[in-house]
Chain A
């Protein structure tokens, strides 16, 4: 009754092809952005920013990047942590070696470095597929782990292998307080979300999806697999690299290579699977789930009186069971539950 496309006629192609054709959707998005940009910075307590919102934003950006590769192009990658590390260390090197290098450019260049490395490690995908590719990308992950520990030039010859960044500032405006950092990340995330949505709706996105569904058939009808796969790796690695540099600069402040290890790669893959493969919104759902759930579980189990070790084990167990549960109940992830809900809303109050 309230949410339907009835009566909303479009009179131009541009209007017909917009991301949110239903005006109720547009209102909802504007409201969401309003809350995110205005209400949250004013109202939320500091803990929420530092421990939940900022990691959520940055990890959802990384999940978005990974979703493009895994969800839209169908190439499983377990090297995400390594690519985040490339982004973070790349940005760090530029900032530390070139005086006065602008922060945003450094973060973006971190993404560019990650894109280059990502394309390099994506070359095997032209020959290997499926699970074999997943294991091959682990080579990238472990190599990056090792490189940042061993090649001291990359960590500015720090004896401990750990690096730290001085205060962040963008053209004089210093990004200090948690609310400012949150807004900084939010700008990046909104920008990349918009770009990715348009990319996957466009012709390159359709090429990716064709490769995902049946790459031999796609090659037969004239889609160049080299171009499609490598561009997927490139775009995805770029976004992941930017997310990695944000993670190091904005969230951690000081990091060592272990911050981007294989656990991070698995965490991101979980986000993408649980959130929904092949869905921009799904990346956000998945990130929210994976960031918030362990914290909630920890709080609940400790509040129930279990000691921290027990709480930690229960968290692991519940986490694992929930992953299996979601895969059984809704293999297409939370995003699918969301779209189902919207479809039900279109018909409401009628059952069918």
Chain B
């Protein structure tokens, strides 16, 4: 059902129903207000009854649903409201559409996929509440799409034995699977992203050594998400000799005038944008307003999608961003399949125009990785059976998707091969750069792989620090066979 967000939001029947409900609520309120005291006592008993209902709901939700042996439940943590909704909605639509697509193909080797959405609004406490509510339903895997919620859930998933996929976000050190048994930052972390950006800038300059003496500014969302790349950029700045200027923007990022005045003053050669939600389009608009050339702006893969540039349009032409392996892929096979099998049958979660857009593809890929992990687990633990969280965790740890398999899934040209292992929960570190042409995203670079020689020691050190803080031991190699 259209959440009222698309361009052709039909105002007809749903809105009539909504306004009828609204009118009736107003009348009810009016009635209650006319007779004060007696009604307020009655209201109080109603409130008590409501509280009772709440407890009952709580009790009933807490009881683990009797696991249907032929169903695999996927909780979908989304945000369709709030300041980050413009980017959260296409991702969620892509994720859910892929799950529906898997069902049209007969499920995961015959096991039906069920799912339930839970609104987090990008807030950590709501994310935790959604997690607590949905984990009791034999949840397969959680993908919170928020670095803040990831930090909170990392503590809990180890006890509850449910894997956590943070594809392209989350803690960079969670790539170290020997410490972070249950975290899977598949396809890349923020350190990979920052490294690829520096490599690309080096290439533009004619060699990494030419970066010496240049000035690179990082305009970042003042939160764990935005601060993630800083250690790597500082490391790189020492290595390659460029000056790093850090410019934080207070969340949600609506006020950036002084930030961009500072950019104008310091005149950096490049600006890296690490934003999400409304911060991205505001940054580009402020760049237009202060006359900073968009060609010199490079966003992370969460700052390079249609919602960020759509309403700036032509003025954003030349803005570059990372593409987490895929960009906007309207011509890919999987998009055509989904349009045929899901949207064609009226089952599409969002508007059909959204299918193939950058964040939609991101959600699609994330769901694909989730499902493939289950398939891999079934290869070991029993094909055609529902998998538990622990079994699926093994699946994510032993993913081996080569190009042939990806092509058969319809992801040719969308994703590169990915293979995880016990020690490496990341699986791949490839990215490209795409540029906004004024109308659509077009690839403007070849493939880059992040530099393991720099990142691996940093990951190891940070993971060790985490293990020391939490007083947990590194996993032993024998543990990898379980």
- Where the two chains meet, the residues of A that have a C-beta atom closer than 8 Å to any C-beta of B are 44-48, 50-52, 55, 96, 146, 149-150, 159-162, 164, 166-167, 251-256, 258-259, 263, 288-289, 292-293, 295-296, 298-299, 307-313, 316, 321, 325, 328-330, 334, 337-338, 340-341, 344
> Which 5 A-B residue pairs are closest in the complex by CB-CB distance?
A47-B62, A45-B62, A309-B80, A253-B155, A160-B224
Which residue of the partner chain B has the closest CB to A325? B29
The reply to whether A334 and B124 form a contact with Cβ atoms under 8 Å apart is no
Interface-side segment among B128-136, B301-309, B362-370: B128-136
A51-B129, A159-B227, A295-B129 are known; give 4 further A-B pairs, CB within 8 A: A258-B148, A296-B50, A298-B119, A329-B32
14 interchain pairs (CB within 8 A)? A51-B129, A51-B133, A159-B227, A159-B230, A162-B148, A253-B156, A256-B223, A259-B124, A293-B50, A296-B57, A308-B78, A308-B80, A309-B80, A328-B33
Give Cα A254–Cα B59 distance, bound, in whole angstroms.
26
Q: Contact at B136–A167, with CB atoms within 8 Å?
A: no
Question: Smallest CB–CB gap between B468 and chain A, Å?
Answer: 10
Nearest Cβ distance between residue B234 and chain A, in whole angstroms?
Answer: 9
Report B19-65 residues with CB < 8 Å from chain A CB: 25, 29, 32-33, 36-37, 39-41, 43-44, 47, 50-51, 53-55, 57-59, 61-63
A337 touches B40 (CB 8 A): yes
The answer for the CA separation of A325 and B32 in the assembled complex, in Å, is: 9
Query: Once the chains are docked, how many angstroms separate the CA of A328 from the CA of B35?
Result: 12
Q: Do B470 and A164 touch across chains, with their CB atoms under 8 A apart? A: yes
In chain A, what residue has the closest Cβ to B251? A258
B161 within 8 A of A: no
Whether B152 lies near A254 (C-beta < 8 A) is yes
B117 adjacent to A252 (CB under 8 Å): no
> Separation in Å of the B380 CB from the closest CB of chain A?
29
Residue numbers in B under 8 Å from A166 (CB-CB): 469-471
Tell me which of B151, B231, B462, B469 has the highest count of chain A C-beta atoms within 10 A of its own C-beta.
Answer: B151
Tally chain B residues at the interface, Cβ within 8 Å: 66
User: Would you give the shortest CB distance from B119 to chain A, in whole angstroms?
Assistant: 4
Could you tell me the distance in whole angstroms from the C-beta of A265 to the nearest C-beta in chain B? 14
Q: Are B41 and A312 in contact, with the CB atoms below 8 A?
A: no
Residues of A within 8 A of B155 (CB): 164, 253-254
Inter-chain CA distance A44–B59, complex, in Å, is 7
Residues on A with C-beta less than 8 A from B123 are 263
Distance of A204 from chain B, by nearest CB (Å): 32
B57 → chain A, closest Cβ, in Å? 5
Q: Roughly how many angstroms separate A311 CA and B130 CA in the complex, as a whole number?
A: 14
Residue picked from B43, B55, B58, most chain A C-beta under 10 Å: B58
CA distance A221 to B41 in the complex (A): 39
Q: B interface vs A, CB < 8 Å?
A: 1, 3-5, 25, 29, 32-33, 36-37, 39-41, 43-44, 47, 50-51, 53-55, 57-59, 61-63, 78, 80-81, 85, 89, 117-119, 121, 123-125, 128-129, 132-133, 136, 147-148, 151-152, 154-156, 171, 222-224, 227-228, 230-231, 248, 250-251, 462, 469-471
Q: Name the B residues within 8 Å of A308 (CB-CB).
A: 78, 80, 117-119
- Tell whether, in the assembled complex, residue B151 and residue A256 are in contact, meaning their CB atoms are under 8 Å apart: yes
The answer to whether B125 touches A252 (Cβ under 8 A) is: yes
Determine which of B43, B124, B147 lies in contact with A255 in the assembled complex, contact meaning CB atoms within 8 Å.
B124
* Residues of A contacting B248 in the complex (Cβ-Cβ under 8 angstroms): 149-150
B29, A256: Cβ atoms closer than 8 Å = no
Given A47-B133, A164-B470, A295-B129: A256 and B224 interface contact (C-beta under 8 Å) = yes
Q: Which residue of B29, B152, B224 contacts A161 across the interface (Cβ within 8 Å)? A: B224
Give the shortest distance, in Å, between A299 (CB) and chain B (any CB).
5
Which residues of A have CB within 8 Å of B470?
164, 166
Residues of B within 8 A of A96 (CB): 469
Q: How far is the CA of A256 from the CA of B54 in the complex (A)?
A: 29
A261 — nearest CB in chain B belongs to which residue?
B251
Which residues from chain B contact A344 at a C-beta distance below 8 Å? 41
A161 adjacent to B118 (CB under 8 Å)? no
User: B148 contacts A310, CB within 8 Å?
Assistant: no
A295 touching B151 in the complex, CB below 8 Å, given contacts A45-B63, A160-B171:
no
Given the known inter-chain contacts A166-B471, A309-B119, please indicate yes or no for A299 contacting B57, CB distance below 8 A. Answer: yes
Given known pairs A162-B224, A164-B155, A308-B78, the reply for A289 and B133 (CB within 8 Å) is no
A252, B124: Cβ atoms closer than 8 Å: yes
Determine the chain A residues whose CB is within 8 A of the CB of B469 once the complex forms.
96, 164, 166
User: Cβ of A50: which chain B residues have Cβ within 8 Å of it?
Assistant: 132
Task: With A162-B151, A309-B81 as known contacts, state yes or no: A330 contacts B224, CB within 8 Å.
Answer: no
CA distance A159 to B51 in the complex (A): 42
A residues in contact with B1, CB < 8 Å: 307
Residues of chain A with a CB closer than 8 A to B78's CB: 308
Given A149-B248, A296-B57, verify A160-B151 contact (CB < 8 Å): yes
**In the complex, A51 Cα to B54 Cα: how many Å?**
12
Q: Which residues of B contact A161 (CB under 8 A)?
A: 223-224, 227
User: In the complex, A331 Cα to B70 Cα: how many Å?
Assistant: 53
**Which residues on B sit within 8 Å (CB–CB) of A328?**
33
Question: Which one of A44, A162, A256, A295 lies within 8 Å of B57 (CB-CB)?
Answer: A295
Q: Report A-chain residues with C-beta under 8 Å of the C-beta of B62.
A: 45-48
B residues less than 8 Å from A334 (CB atoms): 44, 47
Known A-B contacts A254-B152, A312-B121, A337-B44; the reply to A48 vs B55 at CB < 8 A is: yes
